Amino acid sequence: MSEPPFTIRIHTENNQDMDWMVRLEDVTFRQTLEVISSLLPHVTVTAFEYEDPEDGDHITVRSDEEMQDMFSAYFRELSEEDRTRGLFPPLIIYPKMGKTPQNRNIHGLKIKTGGGSQAVEPLPQGQQRQEVGGSIQTIMQCGNINEAQLHFLEPVGSGSGGRVYRALHRPSGRVMAVKVIQLDISPAVQKQIICELEILYKCNSRAIIAFYGAFFQENRISICTEFMDGGSLDRYMPIPETVLGGIAACIVEGLIYMWNLKIMHRDIKPSNVLLNTAGEVKLCDFGVSVQLVKSITTTFVGTNVYMAPERLQGKDYGKSAEIWSLGVTLFELASGILPFQSLTSELKLQPFQVMQCILEETPLVLPTEQFSPEFVKFISQCMHKDPETRLSINDMVNHEFLHRHTSDSSTVISLWVKRRLQEIQQQNRAPQS
């Protein structure tokens, strides 16, 4: 049985750590040095260290072989409890500096802007990166992005509480997605939200949308993220299993990554999964800011057709509630309908009826004539009403359905999304009869 993905935390001198998600069978020593050098472009790094879990001594890694020893020590020390829960603490590595730079930018935060093992893009000359852990004052006053720097191009969608625009960030020349939400809240609450969103700077996974910054202007917050030219999955339903398998693997990778950082998504649904023509699939809209979620839900009534029964009943809920939402999402993406017989599109907007359907009905099962038995089983196991018998994180990661589809299906997804976008464009152009 292969080990599930886990996080390598690259620790830097000024505590601007970067979390990098890897798979044991994919990651190499050279690749690790590349990621380190993208994070620390001004120093030469030829080795790194890790802490011996047994005695706390620092051990140097200079080759693939030594790196394997490090992984063996890491997995050996994992507690049975963490393994069963499928959650792995980050493996911390300490780059060994070869040369001190002449002109080091002391503010140089390295945030993830590329996916996977790709290099972290440098910002244009003269531009500073946002400092992780900087005070709110720093963020408000000299944060990377403010409204005056943005040139709004066009709206690309709207959802609960806000509108999303494609926009050009003039200083960097980067095209971004900017979500603007009107919120009538006090400056203290605004500060708290900005503070809570900071954790997104630390995220570095190819399955999570990159976060560029957020700011308040008057009574609205603008949240700037990576722009995905394929938009969200809801526009593509139904999606064939051959493509959906790879998409599901990416969603799971993104969820595990965030769960390892102790962050729950809280709003898994087709419109919160984005894709692009390069075939990348990424999760967005994590509920990292409790205050933001609270402020939005007191202003706007959110739809809750993807919510787990225990959550609707106001009970304690955890990651298994996310697995339920994943099941409902995949069911809908595969079939184009929700897995509750009496939940028609009119009822979808009536919270009481939605709740009744979810609590009282047994979720539908995908037809076995159209879908593989593994996929049908995976979805049904995600939608067990009792969280105790629902698919566990470990069983999900090792499920035969996911084993057939890796999160590296970008070629298949890319070809498919390009074709579908063309079809959607043609349909939009065709004269209405």
| Catalytic, out of 184, 267, 316, 386 | 267
Please name the amino acid found at residue 156.
V
282 is in an annotated binding site: no
Structure tokens at 146: 């403010």
- Cα end-to-end span (Å), the chain: 56
Sign of the Cα pseudo-torsion (371, 259, 205, 86, in order):
negative
| CB 421, min distance to ligand ADP, A | 12
From 49-57, 85-93, 137-145, 151-159, span contacting ligand ADP (CB under 6 A): 151-159
Is the CB of 22 or the CB of 274 nearer to ligand ADP? Answer: 274
267 is catalytic: yes
162 binding ligand ADP? (CB under 6 A) = yes
| CB 210, min distance to ligand ADP, A | 9
Which of 12, 272, 380, 410 forms a contact with ligand ADP (CB under 6 A)? 272
- Please state, in angstroms and rounded to a whole number, the distance separating the CA atoms of residues 370 and 238: 12
Structure tokens at 431: 């004269």
Contact 320, 390 (CB under 8 A): yes
Binding mask 99-138 for ligand ADP (x = CB under 6 A): ----------------------------------------
State the residue number with the nearest CB to ligand ADP: 159
Contact 229, 276 (CB under 8 A): yes
Is the CB of 131 or the CB of 280 nearer to ligand ADP? Answer: 280
From 99-107, 113-121, 150-158, 256-264, span contacting ligand ADP (CB under 6 A): 150-158
From 77-85, 160-168, 314-322, 392-400, span contacting ligand ADP (CB under 6 A): 160-168
| CB 124, min distance to ligand ADP, A | 22
Q: Cα Rg for the chain, rounded, in angstroms?
A: 22
254 binding ligand ADP? (CB under 6 A) = no
Which of 198, 241, 285, 322 forms a contact with ligand ADP (CB under 6 A)? 285
From 86-94, 266-274, 366-374, 384-392, span contacting ligand ADP (CB under 6 A): 266-274
From 186-194, 267-275, 349-357, 392-400, span contacting ligand ADP (CB under 6 A): 267-275
Structure tokens at 251: 């969603």
Quote the strand ranges of 16-118, DSSP E.
18-22, 45-51, 58-61, 91-97
Contact 82, 259 (CB under 8 A): no
261 binding ligand ADP? (CB under 6 A) = no
Which of 156, 167, 214, 391 forms a contact with ligand ADP (CB under 6 A)? 156
Measuring CA to CA, how many Å separate 344 from each of 238, 326, 350?
A: 17, 20, 10
Contact 409, 245 (CB under 8 A): yes
159 binding ligand ADP? (CB under 6 A) = yes
Is the CB of 249 or the CB of 274 nearer to ligand ADP? Answer: 274
| CB 179, min distance to ligand ADP, A | 6
Structure tokens at 64: 């693939």
Sign of the Cα pseudo-torsion (333, 338, 341, 345, in order):
negative
Residue (of 342, 332, 166) closest to 247 by Cα position: 332
211 binding ligand ADP? (CB under 6 A) = no
Structure tokens at 279: 């075939």
Near ligand ADP in 212-241, by CB under 6 A: 225-228, 231-232
Is the CB of 227 or the CB of 324 nearer to ligand ADP? Answer: 227
Near ligand ADP in 170-189, by CB under 6 A: 177, 179
160 binding ligand ADP? (CB under 6 A) = yes
Spatial CB neighbours of 127, under 8 Å, sequence gap ≥ 6: 144, 171, 172
In Å, the largest CA–CA distance within the chain is: 75
Which of 14, 158, 350, 370 forms a contact with ligand ADP (CB under 6 A)? 158
- Please state, in angstroms and rounded to a whole number, the distance separating the CA atoms of residues 387 and 418: 38
Which of 221, 274, 281, 288 forms a contact with ligand ADP (CB under 6 A)? 274
Binding mask 292-331 for ligand ADP (x = CB under 6 A): ----------------------------------------
332 binding ligand ADP? (CB under 6 A) = no
Spatial CB neighbours of 245, under 8 Å, sequence gap ≥ 6: 375, 401, 402, 404, 405, 409
Contact 351, 359 (CB under 8 A): no
Pairing relation of β-strands 174-182 and 211-217? unpaired
Pairing relation of β-strands 91-97 and 6-10? parallel
Residues engaged in binding ligand ADP (CB under 6 A): 156-160, 162, 164, 177, 179, 209, 225-228, 231-232, 271-272, 274, 284-285
Mark the binding-site residues, compressed into ranges.
Answer: 179
Residues with catalytic roles:
267
Return binding residues for ATP.
179
